[in-house]
Structure 1
Amino acid sequence: MRALLIKALLHFFALFPLSTVHTIATFLGRKIALRPSLRLTQVTRTNIRLCFPHLSPSAQETLVKESLIETCKAFSELGALWLWRADRVLALVREVSGEACLQQALERGQGVVLLTPHLGAWELAGLYASSRYTLTALYRPPKLAGLHDLIHTARERAGGHFVPTDQSGVRALYKALRQRQVVGILPDQVPSDASSGIFAPFFGKPAYTMVLVYRLVRKTGAAVIFTYAERLPQGRGFHLHFLPAPANMMAENVEVAVGALNQGVEQCVPNCTAQYQWSYKRFKRRPEGTVSVYK
């Protein structure tokens, strides 16, 4: 039932131009900001207080409100990003910066690990990459099984190949990199088990962070590049950014390399801070002996 409701909402939002969808989302986000007891609001506020302790309380609250609006935009625009024709969606890309770093890596004969943080319209960033490069990306099935086919079809409609987040999927990533192709990973998801991550600073706080990228780079010599699709004002579309990863991501020491991964995400965020997914429990896994920050 819940999957059917979400599908209905997505089809509803897909009927309208992006500017209208973002106007509706702005109204909803402002209403949610008035409900401090909602879990969405509580998690957003907790993350912003943890990551931006230098901001005044009023500045933090302003960012919370802006973030909730952007969170509503991120959901509502999925109707367009998943259900419109691929060419219509790609036409929303108004500007691209830094893509030469990806192209140069491929020209050097390197595979590329393309890291797409939960910033802006990450679904659009993946669609753009799969339309221009041979892309293999990890795909974690949704908790609602009824959404699986819709999401999987949407993500692969521009040519990308999405593989599960298990050993078969990881093997597919290694194979693609050895063939000098591009692989896509969301670098800021909390790993699901104790063998797939370590704690590293994220905005100065310990965050359980994947070691997969470190292993891929050490075994294949792949280049690492970050990308995100910045949401433009008034629903005008998106500005796609590509940035080389911090040099320390190539370090032999796993703690140094994984710390650099988080630094790379941090370097993307300031350009559109409210568009990061602050509603995600990034710090839900805690170092031993510490309590949850979300209670």
Structure 2
Amino acid sequence: MKKLIPLLFRWLGRLSLRKLHWLGATAGLLVLYASASYRQRLIANMTRGLGRPPQAAEIRRTAAETGRMMFELPYIWQRPLARVLGHVLAVEGWDKVEALRAEGKAIVALTPHLGCFEIISLYIGERMPMTVLYRPPKQAMIEPILRAGREQGSIRLAPADLSGVRRLIKALRQGEATGLLPDQAPGKGEGLWSPFFGKPAYTMTLAARLSEVSNAAVVLFWAERVVGKGWCIHVETPDEAPSGTLEERVHSINRNIETLILKCPTQYLWGYNRYKTPAGAEPPPAQ
């Protein structure tokens, strides 16, 4: 059965983006109705994020978009880079990146699980050297496909360990770009508890540490999905630039990510178990 996964992945990569988005939406809705635990977590996280219970249409739309997020990966990772980037329909705010680079700044690109986050590094990597933190997938058989899809243009993958952190810092000191998913739940010792939509979430400290590098500038990216057609990339500088202690920087980054998510909430990965306690980590503070 496991050997069929790479074959299925390669077959899906031959389909059009429109067909993959349709299949993804169908799969997302099936999971929503089939898994009570997933449905409950999605609704609970949406309620916390929106500040109100989501409407039934919002729940269905979110589940469908999550499915599309997963099913567009075979296309992105296996098609020629030029063809994939040809689906970038518009880019809003890239001038902010150019202005920062003109000032000699290195870019800390933060991309939450919002819209099509995989397209962001490919777009940036076509325009400047970029080092991206990389954690191997649980399904080892698709790792060659994943690595080939992500290591394109001038992108370099850094392992999610101390050596990878050193490579990220080195890249920033050389004036290059680095990329992270700041809402990825870290392992024990790699994060601290920080409010995320009003509830403590174990949050990585790495993004905050990179923001402390002297010539680094934090820039927020997200790619809005246009169903069946592609993506519109949005580039924003933080409303609240990370500063102060490490803990204050972590809190600041979470607040900025919250603001970003609420611009297109149905394309966020609300079903992700963002509030889990890593094995061996201290429990969250009492609320």
Question: 2:234 aligned with 1:241, yes or no?
Answer: yes
Matched position secondary structure for 1:208: strand
Q: What is the identity, as a one-letter code, of the residue corresponding to 1:264?
A: N
Correspondence for 1:270: 262
Q: CA deviation at 1:156?
A: 0.6
- CA RMSD for the aligned pairs? 1.9
Kept after mapping to 2: 8 A contact 1:135/1:182? yes
Correspondence for 2:199: 205
Correspondence for 1:51: 49
CA offsets 1:139-160 (integer angstroms, 9 cap, x no match) = 0111122222211111012220
Where has structure 1 moved over 4 Å in runs of 4 or more?
Answer: none
- TM-score by structure 2 length? 0.92
Q: What is the identity, as a one-letter code, of the residue corresponding to 1:188?
A: D
Structure 2 Cα separation of the partners of residues 40 and 8 of structure 1: 27
Q: CA deviation at 1:60?
A: 4.2
CA offsets 1:45-104 (integer angstroms, 9 cap, x no match) = 23223333423xxx3443222111111101111111011000000000000001111111
Q: CA deviation at 1:8?
A: 2.5
Question: 2:103 aligned with 1:108, yes or no?
Answer: yes
**Aligned positions, number:** 283
Bigger drift between 88-97 and 8-17 goes to 8-17
CA offsets 1:237-287 (integer angstroms, 9 cap, x no match) = 1000111023341x1222321111111211211232111111211000286
Structure 2 Cα separation of the partners of residues 270 and 219 of structure 1: 28
Matched position secondary structure for 1:201: strand
Kept after mapping to 1: 8 A contact 2:173/2:213? no
Structure 2 Cα separation of the partners of residues 211 and 32 of structure 1: 32
Kept after mapping to 2: 8 A contact 1:70/1:275? yes
CA offsets 1:212-237 (integer angstroms, 9 cap, x no match) = 1222222333100010111013x121
Relative to structure 1, the CA distance from residue 34 to residue 172 in structure 2 (aligned partners, 3 Å threshold; closer, same or farther) is: same
Structure 2 Cα separation of the partners of residues 246 and 199 of structure 1: 22
Bigger drift between 106-115 and 87-96 goes to 106-115
**Among 18, 37, 40, the residue aligned to 2:38:** 40
Matched position secondary structure for 1:6: helix
Correspondence for 2:79: 84
